[in-house]
Amino acid sequence: MKALLGNPEAQYGDSNVIQLWDPWLTKQQVAKALQFHPRTIERWMQDGLPYRRFGGHPRFRMSQIEAYWADREGDNA
């Protein structure tokens, strides 16, 4: 298996990657990574997207976002 750290070819979400780091991301970083507008992220927050506030600013973990959407997709199946 590839290790995420030290492997510039590893992609986030790659099933062959050991995820060693799950940083807190800003709303803008999440929007850019998912290719959605930041206002869309705000609407998702109102619908239950998990986040924490640090210094009054929302922060997200990509692993929690992926789990949130996996649960929602399961509800619609």
Could you state, in order of their start, the residue ranges of all structural domains in the chain?
21-76
d(CA 47, CA 52) in angstroms, rounded, equals 15
Please tell me the predicted confidence (pLDDT) of residue 4.
41
pTM of the model: 0.68
- In this structure, are residues 19 and 6 in contact, taking their beta carbons and an 8 Å threshold? no
pLDDT computed for residue 26 by the predictor: 97
Please report, in tens digits, the pLDDT of each residue of the chain (77 residues total): 334 444 555 555 555 555 568 999 999 999 999 999 999 999 999 999 999 999 999 999 999 999 999 998 876 65
Instruction: Report the Cα–Cα distance between both ends of the chain, in Å, rounded.
Output: 32
CATH tag, 21-76: 1.10.10
Query: Reading across the β-sheet that carries 57-61, which strands appear in turn?
Result: 24-25, 57-61, 52-54
Residue type at 53 in one-letter notation: R
**Helix (H) or strand (E) segment spanning residue 19:** none
